[in-house]
Amino acid sequence: MEQNYPIKRIIDDKGQLIDASFEKLIDEKLVKELYYNMIRIRTFDRKAINLQRQGRLGTYAPFEGQEAAQVGSALALNADDWVFPTYRDHGATLTFGKNMARTFLYWNGRVEGCVPPKDRHIFPPAVPIATQLPHAAGAAWAEKLRGTKNVSIAYFGDGATSEGDFHEGLNFASVFKVPVVFFNQNNGYAISVPIEKQMNSATIAQKSVAYGMPGVRIDGNDCFAVYFETKKAFDHARNGDGPTLIEAVTWRTGAHTTADDPSKYRPEKQGENIVDPVTRMELFMKNYGYWDEQWIQEVKEKTTSEIELAVEEMENFPPPNVEDIFDHIFAEMPTQLAEQKEAYLAHLERQ
């Protein structure tokens, strides 16, 4: 089955264009937009890890190595589309327009970190595995019923394909032919479990066959392949042709979270020959005349400045409202919860 789902690539590990049909579709604007956003989210990711180690953020889920998968897919969206991320897809949500300071707030356990900008449809990050897939299908169904051209994208890892929500989401989307793209980032591990121990399928893309939808396998470290294949899937959805399952084969260089030690379960040299997406894009830029040293420096300075300002805003944010623990859960607060809230507020007053 694996031979039926070859990994699609546009540039190779050395940044050489291997599919000439895309030569006219790649221009300076696209190259710079992809590269800028990858640098931006990588810088954010490294800063977040540093903040966690300093005790200024809570446990954090890094994504370094998956920048192309997140940026390439998010840039293919339209402003009115829907994004359903996991806890590791803040690179995609930042690219789509989520506020950076609020993204930091999320990793400090603040409810404000789940609130998207008013002009973006971004679902709160799903921590339970695969639960966002039926939600993405439902939002897409609603857009279809409204007669819009809006689509939704659901991000998930390889471990999510072992959950019932994965199959329910794909089945619902297929039956009702809704405009949703299921975007899998296959980094080879479901926490500490390698993919060969949690599924017997040769690929994730082939799971699309059971649900009568297109399935495609792409090089998740090739930003161009991600962008153009995701855009193709979005066009397919907007045209009323239903969902697509995309498997982006990638590699996360670091730990599952900052509370994890991958040396306990990943072989020491595993992944060392993989050319990361930022390096590959830089090689492409140098090979095809897009490299501009001054512009690169400006990008790094701009992103660093933006991130430092976001950290400052996060750390100067007003203290959390303790009532958020109780409010916004039920339309009408149950008596038991109301009593707990009253008792806790009285306790605070006595302090």
pLDDT tens-place string over residues 202-244? 999 999 999 999 999 999 999 999 999 999 999 999 999 999 9
Q: Inform me whether the pLDDT recorded for 1 exceeds 80.
A: no
How confident is residue 60, by pLDDT bands cut at 50, 70 and 90?
very high
Active-site residue identified among 42, 110, 252, 280: 252
Tokens of 270: 């595993």
Active-site residue identified among 256, 266, 280, 290: 256
d(CA 351, CA 347): 7
How confident is residue 328, by pLDDT bands cut at 50, 70 and 90?
confident
Residue 268 has a pLDDT of 87
Question: 2-320 architecture in CATH?
Answer: 3-Layer(aba) Sandwich (3.40)
How confident is residue 83, by pLDDT bands cut at 50, 70 and 90?
very high
Tokens of 62: 């890094």
Mean pLDDT (whole number) for 132-146: 98
* Nearest residue to 6 via CA among 242, 247, 209, 231: 247
Residue with tokens 């840039």: 75
d(CA 241, CA 179): 8
> Catalytic annotation on 35?
no
How confident is residue 321, by pLDDT bands cut at 50, 70 and 90?
confident
Give the mean pLDDT of the chain: 96
Across the strands, what pairs with 190? 193
Contact 189, 267 (CB under 8 A): no
Residue 4 has a pLDDT of 84
d(CA 307, CA 47): 8
> Catalytic annotation on 256?
yes
> Catalytic annotation on 146?
no
Mean pLDDT (whole number) for 12-17: 97
Residue 325 has a pLDDT of 83
d(CA 326, CA 303): 37
Q: Which of 219-228, 278-287, 326-335 bottoms out in mean pLDDT, i.e. has the lowest?
A: 326-335
Extract the runs of DSSP E, i.e. beta strands, from 4-105. Answer: 82-84
Q: Where are the domains of the chain?
A: 2-320, 321-351
Region of 328 (left: φ > 0; alpha: ψ -120 to 50; beta: rest) is: left
Across the strands, what pairs with 82? 121, 152
